[in-house]
Chains A and B, each alone.
Chain A
Amino acid sequence: MNVVITPEMVGQVVISGILSGALYAMVALGLALIFGVMRVINVAHGPLLMLGAYVTYFLFSGLGLNPYLTVPVSMAVMFVVGVILQRTLVFRVVNAPELSSLLLTFGISIALVNLAQLAFTSDLRAIEYLTRSFVVGPFAISGSRFIAFLFAIAVTALAFLFLQRTKLGKAIRATSQSAEVAMVCGIDVSRVHMITFGLGAALAAGGGALIAVVIAIQPEMGQVWTFKSFLVIVLGGAGNYPGALLGGLLLGLVEQLASLFLTTQLSEVVAYLLLVVVLLLRPSGLLSGRQT
């Protein structure tokens, strides 16, 4: 075809890449937290994100709330759901072999998606809010994606502050470094697990709430986010929280640039090739990245 790629076009997709990358980072941070602390790969992460998106949708369409005001609500609701899931199911597999936790969370994932289909139907729903974009020089920046970006950055920054500065955050990091030593030091490890799972679910839900304003939602929207989050934390080093931020931005940029220079179809291929390359060169990224 006769598409000539200009610097403006590259700039445009780099902007898009950074905007979506921040969102990837925020969602993936939730998965990284849960994995870091509990060694549980939460396959239900995407479906939790989907539920967060529905909370926002119903608050917007039912009560007429501003969708951005619903983000903390959605995160709080899903924090509670996460805590309940951890209390009833996930705690059983924390010290079990990784396959058990995969199977359990996979089961939760299927159950959540099917329950959502029953409860909400498979119909596509969208929040028509802020569909405009603003123009900066030669670039068009989507309003809803830009606000999602700001939220994602803010939430991610708050999460880091929480982990670095608060007592509970330190307890979470201590548990992720060594559960036994943490326990000896008087940290209530099972409480930390509960809160971490809640936080992970809340981060997913926040992502879902923001996505609900950007694209239309349906019960099966989550699974792709499980994969993307997984990709991000492996790229950044599993259990390594700043790594999630780096991995998220990297994935966003790679996807967009691959779509621009190759085709949209190949962008996923390139993203997963990148994963393979990272695993070949830095296999320690997976499972052993325990430094925070």
Chain B
Amino acid sequence: MDPESAKALAAGICMAVGSIGPALGLGMLISKALESIARQPEVSGEIRTTMFIGIGVTEAVALYAFVIALILIFVA
């Protein structure tokens, strides 16, 4: 397999497999936040803030995979 197609294949697999974890994590996070808001609506402001922090941190993991895929395609 020549290097070009190997790089393209690696980038695709990296992005695909690397998004599974963050997607599952985000779903769990937001669903728990929803449940907590439904249980105790008066703290929904704090819950929403913490949820957004959690979303930012979890989505960053998917973006690490994205950056590696970009490096594979454009730099390596």
Do A and B truly interact? no
